[in-house]
Amino acid sequence: MWIGIFLTACTVFDLKTRRLPVWLMIMGSVTAVIFRISHWEDGALLWLGGMLTGMFFIAVSWRTGEQVGYGDSWMILILGLYLGLWDVLWLLSIAFTCSGIVAVILLIKGKWSKKVSFPFIPFLMLGYMGVAWL
């Protein structure tokens, strides 16, 4: 439940300001670590794999000069730590598919160009809802 509330707050910030407050991301990180410590028996390799997925995206953010924002990558790290490897991969599949569909629709309608960026946290929220529903 807490992750849904956290993602909702981050979605609002991302849509309004296109930035995520560092204090909110630290709070999410600490909460995810506490959750993972209290559920240690769930399989360390799975949550470690989820965390490595987030670290991969942080490296992509750094390497591409933040073409993928650090906030988005940090969120993927938090979600990977919380959900584990397989669920975060499902979440990312849903999020990338939904964002791709929206981008294609807006490109066809002529409302965007190829160089426009858009907030990704709302799509991570959709991905989380999809994973929670499955």
Q: Kindly provide the b/e burial profile for residues 29-57, where b requires at least 16 CB atoms within 10 angstroms of the residue's own CB.
A: bebbeeebeeeeeeeeebbebbbebbeeb
Tell me how many domains the chain contains.
1
- The pTM for the full model equals 0.90
Contact by Cβ (8 Å): 48, 80: no
Give the three-class secondary structure for 114. Answer: coil
Two structure tokens written together for 130? 């999809």
* Domain coverage including residue 84: 2-133
Rounded to whole angstroms, the Cα distance separating 86 from 116 reads 30
How high is the pLDDT of residue 6? 92
> Residue 47 carries which side chain, given as an amino acid letter?
W
Share of the chain above pLDDT 70, in %: 99
Q: What is the pLDDT of residues 44-90, one digit of tens each?
A: 888 899 999 999 999 999 998 888 889 999 999 999 999 999 999 99
And the tokens for 9? Answer: 């707050």
